[in-house]
Amino acid sequence: MIQEILSIFYFLLPAGFANMAPVMCKNLLKSWAVPIDANKTWNGKPIFGKHKTWRGLLLGSLFGVIIFFIQQKLYIFPFFQSYSLVNYSETSIFLGFLLGFGAVFGDLIKSFLKRRVNIASGKSWIPFDQIDYTIGAIACAAPIYFVGWLESIYGVLIYFILHVIINHIAYYTKIRGEKW
């Protein structure tokens, strides 16, 4: 079971980094910090909200590709092979793009739904704020590689826990304004 947990954690690393990219790179590409929804509304509510930007979509997708590329290079080592769900030497880097894009896309879908149920941008919506990116990444990657249902559940649970831990650390170190 530990092997499966570590393997799904490793497989979803591009999504995990993609999810952090918009926050980590908030001072880069400022001209791309334009809302994806162009500040449009639907039924009087923002479609996604002003914090869902083209910069986040671009950088999240790029981080997915970069982390996947690193995984491809590390695949020559038996240690990394033993925790790999895919043969990175034979798998297209497009899978890294799908994992990164899927993470950001999952967040967009969650933001759309959040606006429909009147939850303001930046306000907590547990557990959806913590699992959106993992579900999005798994769904977008599925046409190329589906990890399996049990592994998907493991992935969502692992990254839910990591998300909570990382956000709490960021809150207590004054990097983030809210714990959730």
Q: Flag whether 117 is in a domain.
A: yes
Tens digit of each residue's pLDDT (9 = 90 or more) over 79-90 = 999 999 999 999
Nearest-angstrom CA–CA distance, 51 and 53: 6
Q: Flag whether 74 is in a domain.
A: yes
Q: Flag whether 162 is in a domain.
A: yes
Q: Flag whether 96 is in a domain.
A: yes
Q: Flag whether 111 is in a domain.
A: yes
pLDDT exceeds cutoff 90 at 42: yes
- Res. 180 pLDDT band, cuts 50 70 90: confident
Of 3-17, 79-93, 126-140, 164-178, give the lowest mean pLDDT range: 164-178
Work out how many domains the chain is built from and give that number. Answer: 1
Determine the angle formed by the axes of helices 13-24 and 149-172, rounding to 10 degrees: 30
- The structure's pTM equals 0.92
Q: Flag whether 178 is in a domain.
A: no
Hey, what amino acid is at 95?
L
Tens digit of each residue's pLDDT (9 = 90 or more) over 100-144 = 999 999 999 999 999 999 998 878 899 999 999 999 999 999 999
Would you say 115 and 129 are in contact if contact means Cβ atoms under 8 Å apart? Answer: no
Residues spanned by the domain of 36: 2-172
Q: Flag whether 97 is in a domain.
A: yes
H or E element, residue 42: strand 41-42
Q: Flag whether 104 is in a domain.
A: yes
